Structure formats: structure tokens, C-alpha cells
Structure 1
Amino acid sequence: MSSDSQIVVGFGGTCIDLLAEVTAFPEPDQKINTTNFKVQGGGNTGNALTCAARLGLKPRIISKVGDDTQGRAILEELEADGVDTTFFVVSKEGTTPFTYIIVDSQAKTRTCIFTSGYPRMVPEDLSRTSLLSALDGARLVYFDGRLHKTALVIAQEAIYQNIPILIDAERPREELNDLLRFADYVVCSEKFPLAWTGTSSFPRALVSMLLRLPKIRFVIATLGEKGCIMLERCADEGPQTEEIDINSALESLEIEKDDSVTMPTCLSSSQTKFRAEGIGTVCGRLYVGTAEKIPPSELIDTTGAGDAFIGAVLYAICANFSPSKMLRFASCVAAANCRAIGARSGLPYSTDPCLASFFHRATTQ
């Protein structure tokens, strides 16, 4: 990867995570002991860009913390991982956001209780000089969907400079709609497409998203241990392009999956006109990616798995990975992160043996 394609900019949440691992989630009014406790940086943007840095990108973060112990710890941790914190706003009398996370080691779940910082970031916190400096040479800009007023200012400048935008659509937020219209790429949770479009099926919702957002090149829905599904937009080749119902297309790919394979795999359709009854058609390719099968003894904590996936997607776009390679790569990175407590402890580096096959091949297939 050339040095001029390594810079990515992220805007959104950073915080401190207070992680308490317990043998079982407590009952109301119960007192229990932790089996493990960890304090580390968190927040969707902080996590995703830490992942991107460890993989070899040069991330810059625009965010806000308080001038307190927690805020200084966030900056120090990011800088130690190679993330540029020059564009952080530090509030002299503010407080830094933090999250209590209860990790149930038996049920393999995590419960997050978030406390926002004060004061929240507003457009006036970011000077135009600082914004232009942050975007200088950027290959991609990432948003986690929060602090939408400031996000819109950054997105509009990115559009003006022709810098592609990737948005993490974790859940529907009214203010997210304005930001989504700027997106070139969307990575969302499993529930987002149906909730946002109100359509009758998940695959139809993906078609609806591409029709409602004509600028986006692909949408990826992450499905946890079930893997991921991606709909990529393609140029319409005319009447000769086959037309098929999107539900049927997804069912066909799901049938082809080999559930006995441990490592991530990816199946794709040919270029097709996907029809969603009552919604419309879109020309594209459909991809079904599987997740790595992690042995129960190795599965520690799923906190930040989605952020790790997005960090890997950022890298894959910059490195011009094929869609199939990108989805397999992102699944491997997310799986590695699930093998340690917290959103960052397990994030792999580019030298990690589990990623060797992606970095040592000359092709992008």
C-alpha cells in the first residue's frame, strides 16, 4: 500500500471503558465479585481507528475529551497505538465519557452502561484550519453516527474534497439520516436495515437502502456469529443482465455455505439485477460471508467486535482488497478481538499469524 493511501480520519465517540468480568450476570440487589477487571480506552471511533492503526494505516481522530485523568489516558493510549490525536478538542473544565461494561463469562454476553461527557462537541469546537489540516491527504473519512451537527460539517468538507465516507449505522437515529446521504460505504448492525427502511424482509431492506442512498457503493450488515451480508452496487449492463428476486438470491447463497469450515469464507452472486417487490430493482452483487468459528474455550468477550470489523474494512478499502477478501479479512480481525477482554486487548497487528495469508499474497482475490 502506498503511503498516500494510508491516512484515514475518524470522527465520533471516544471514552474510557471500565470492564468487569463476572461468572454470571447479577440478579437485582445481588452482590458479586469480579473475576477480572480492566480499564482501557473505548468508543466506536477510538476502537475502529486503533484497529486500523495496528493493521498499518495512519489514522487521525477528531473527538472531544475532558482535561481530566480519563481524558489524558485516552489520548496516551491512542498515541501509543500510532493514532494521531492532534485534532482532539480538550475541554478544560469538562468531563470525559465513560462506559461500565459487565462481561458475563458464562453466557458470553456484555452489557454496556454509558455516561456521556460534558460539554458535548459542537461545530464551533472545530476551527476550519484544524478541519482542513485533519482532512489533508485523507483516503477515507469514518463516522460512527454520533454528534451529528459537527459530523455534518466534516462530511460536507469531505464531499467537497472528494474524500469517500464510511458510516457505521449501529442503530437508527433521526439525526443519522442527514449524514447517510453523504455515505459511500455503510456498515450496519443486523437490525438496522429493517428498522431504517420498514421493509418486509432483510434482503429487501438492503435493496431499499441502495435505492434510497444512490451514492453508496456497498452496504454490509454484520450478523455476529452468523457472519455478514454485503450488497455491492454495480453499473447496470442493460437488458442482458439477469433479474432475480433478492430473497431468492440470498437463499441460494445461504444453501451453498459449508458450515463445517472453521475459518471465514465468502460466497457471491454474479452481477445481477436484484428485484425487491414493491420497492424496485438495483444492479449489483450479493455476498454472504461466514464468521470464524471460535472454540468456546477461546471466546472471551465480544466487546468491540463490530468496531474491529469496521477497522479492518477501512484497511481493506485503502489496500484495494476485493470484496470477498475484505469480508474474510474483517471477520478474522473481529474474531481475534473476541479472544481477549475489552474492545482493544485482542486487536491484531498486521504481523499477527492469523492474518498472514492476507498480507503475504500478491493478489487481492
Structure 2
Amino acid sequence: MSSCSDEAIPGQPIVLGCGQLCLDYLVTVASFPIPDQKIRGTSFKVQGGGNTGNALTCVARLGLPCRILAKVADDSHGRYMVEELESSGVDTSFCMNAKDGASHFNYVIVDNQTNTRTCIYTPGYPPLLPDDLTESLLFDVLDGVKVLYVNGRSREAELLLAQKAHSKNIPILINAEKKRTGLDELIALADYAICSTNFPQEWTESPSSPSALLSMLIRLPKLKFVIMTLGEHGCVILERCSSEFSGSEEETDIDELYESLKQSTDLTSVLPVCNSSGDWL
């Protein structure tokens, strides 16, 4: 990997990510195996993973300065992941070293037939805890930060960090993968949310995905927009309108609007496609 740290423009806003690092063992197969079957993999790769590490690697490769706050085990896996992040331009100076810890790792099966991936997660230890975040550390790690990225894996520590960021008017972006105990307090502080396909309905208990996105904006007044990922079909975003309505606009059913957008989107295009509802909602 080539380093992007030298490409960042001085004075650019810093992106801070807080979360777990995880080592991925990725094997690609022609099709997912059935029980008791032996198959041959078509490729194999070992690389750092986890939502926070992946997001910050992308940010760094785009040329923006970023740093990570995490607790990393002092084993071969942990050292490998930190070195990999550094090679991509991520500032790891706020990674805490756990001398007696063990790294988190994933076995990931990538199915070429269905274009899906199956993860088998093995948690490591020790976790990042609120007691690890001293006042001086919080002051230093948030210095110059313009966006905080969290995902709820280290919920209590992330909540403390998010509360401090909120008090400093630092925007917070949350990656909401699935319902977790205590996630409600963290997501209530978020300015932006990126969700897995199933999370909006699971969290809101709404009858449809579009209505669930709308329900999230209604329940979370701080949220400016929510994105729901759709795998190979891209994503859908619902943004809070900042303009003032006169009250004469005709209301639009969000499920009908969503279906209309799907019908009018060219899914055969090999290039990225953005289809907007304009001022319909």
C-alpha cells in the first residue's frame, strides 16, 4: 500500500474514528459450501478489517488527514493491523497498546456465485473502556477534529467520546450495523447515520424500509440525513429538508416515492448512478 499521509493538504479537517480493529482472513469460493462439504478456495488474503479501520483507510486514501482511537493487542495481529493503517496514512498515535490482549479476527467467506460474504467473528480482549479515556486524552484526540466516526462496538467509550465531541460542536457520523444494547444514546447524538439494509426497520419496527428511514429522521431531530446500504444495488439516502414549506405542498407517500425512484433508476449502467427525488418529498 502507498502512504497518503504526505498528500494531505495542511489545514484540512481531521476525521477521527473510534472502534475496534479486526484482522480478516478472506477466502473466495465459487459457491458457498454445504454442510460437511470440502471445496477449494479460488483466492486467499489476510488484511485488516473492521468498520472503523475500513472507513479510515478509505478517508486516508482520498487524501484527508485522519486518526484512530482504539485499544490494540500487543500480538502479531495487532502490530500488523497498526502497520497496515500507518502505510495507508492513518494516524495511529492514539492507539492504546494492550500487552496481555488478543486481537479480534474474522473468517470471511466470499461467495462469487451470489456476490455475498459471510463473516465468522472471534472477539478479542480487552475492550476499550471509558476509564481509558482521560480528560487529557480526550482533549488531545479531538484537537482539530471536524468529524467523529463511531459504530457502537465499544459503546460506553464511544458514548463518552461522542458526548465530548457534541459539547465541542463536532459533527458525529454513526455506522449503525445492527441493534446493540445502549446504542440509542449514541445514535441520538449523531448528525449523520449510515445503516445496514436491515437496521432501520429493526430499530424503528416500521412496516417498510422507506418508512423506517423517515421514522429515524422524525425520532432523531439532530440527524441531517440517513443512508441505508443495499449491497450490490447501492444505497438510498433520505435527507432532512432545510427549507421552510408554506404548507401548500402536496404530501408524497414515501413508499410510493421509493418505488418510483427504483423504477426510474438504470440498474444496468456500469457507471455510478444517482437518482434524486428532487422536491417531491
- For normalisation by structure 1, the TM-score amounts to 0.71
Counterpart of 1:179 in structure 2 is 186
Query: Where does 1:253-264 land on structure 2 (aligned, <5 Å)?
Result: 253-264=261-272
**Structure-2 separation of matches of 1:138 and 1:249:** 37
> Share of identical aligned residues, percent?
51
TM-aligned CA deviation for residue 2 of structure 1: 6.4
8 Å Cα contact 1:5/1:139 also seen in 2: no
3-state secondary structure, aligned to 1:243: coil
8 Å Cα contact 1:65/1:117 also seen in 2: no
TM-aligned CA deviation for residue 238 of structure 1: 2.7
Could you say if the C-alpha distance between residues 266 and 81 of structure 1 is closer, same or farther in structure 2, counting changes exceeding 3 Å?
same
Could you say if the C-alpha distance between residues 252 and 102 of structure 1 is closer, same or farther in structure 2, counting changes exceeding 3 Å?
closer
- The one-letter amino acid of 1:253's match is L
**Structure-1 separation of matches of 2:221 and 2:173:** 14
TM-aligned CA deviation for residue 257 of structure 1: 1.8
Query: Where does 1:335-350 land on structure 2 (aligned, <5 Å)?
Result: none
1:151 paired with 2:151, answer no
1:52 paired with 2:59, answer yes
Q: CA deviation digits over 1:120-154, x for unaligned, max 9?
A: 11111222212211111111000122111001100
Could you say if the C-alpha distance between residues 2 and 73 of structure 1 is closer, same or farther in structure 2, counting changes exceeding 3 Å?
closer
Could you say if the C-alpha distance between residues 239 and 2 of structure 1 is closer, same or farther in structure 2, counting changes exceeding 3 Å?
farther
3-state secondary structure, aligned to 1:30: coil
- The answer to which structure has the higher helix fraction is 1
3-state secondary structure, aligned to 1:38: strand
3-state secondary structure, aligned to 2:83: helix
Counterpart of 1:245 in structure 2 is 253
Give structure 2 stretches of 5+ with no counterpart: 1-7
Could you say if the C-alpha distance between residues 200 and 32 of structure 1 is closer, same or farther in structure 2, counting changes exceeding 3 Å?
closer
1:226 paired with 2:204, answer no
1:37 paired with 2:51, answer no
TM-aligned CA deviation for residue 252 of structure 1: 2.5
**Structure-1 separation of matches of 2:259 and 2:160:** 41
Equivalent in 200, 207, 210 of residue 203 of structure 1: 210
Equivalent in 120, 124, 134 of residue 127 of structure 2: 120
Q: Please, which moves more after superposition, 16-25 or 179-188?
A: 16-25
3-state secondary structure, aligned to 2:28: strand
Could you say if the C-alpha distance between residues 262 and 23 of structure 1 is closer, same or farther in structure 2, counting changes exceeding 3 Å?
closer
Counterpart of 1:194 in structure 2 is 201
Query: Where does 1:1-365 land on structure 2 (aligned, <5 Å)?
Result: 3-235=10-242, 236-272=244-280, 274=281
Counterpart of 1:293 in structure 2 is none
Q: CA deviation digits over 1:257-315, x for unaligned, max 9?
A: 2334221111222335x4xxxxxxxxxxxxxxxxxxxxxxxxxxxxxxxxxxxxxxxxx
**Structure-2 separation of matches of 1:184 and 1:47:** 20
Q: CA deviation digits over 1:19-58, x for unaligned, max 9?
A: 2223333333334443322111111100110011001111
Q: CA deviation digits over 1:81-139, x for unaligned, max 9?
A: 10000111111111111111122334433211111111111111222212211111111
- The one-letter amino acid of 1:156's match is Q
3-state secondary structure, aligned to 1:231: strand
8 Å Cα contact 2:12/2:65 also seen in 1: no
TM-aligned CA deviation for residue 71 of structure 1: 0.7
**Structure-1 separation of matches of 2:88 and 2:278:** 40
**Structure-1 separation of matches of 2:117 and 2:279:** 39
- The one-letter amino acid of 1:126's match is L
8 Å Cα contact 1:65/1:97 also seen in 2: no
Could you say if the C-alpha distance between residues 148 and 261 of structure 1 is closer, same or farther in structure 2, counting changes exceeding 3 Å?
same
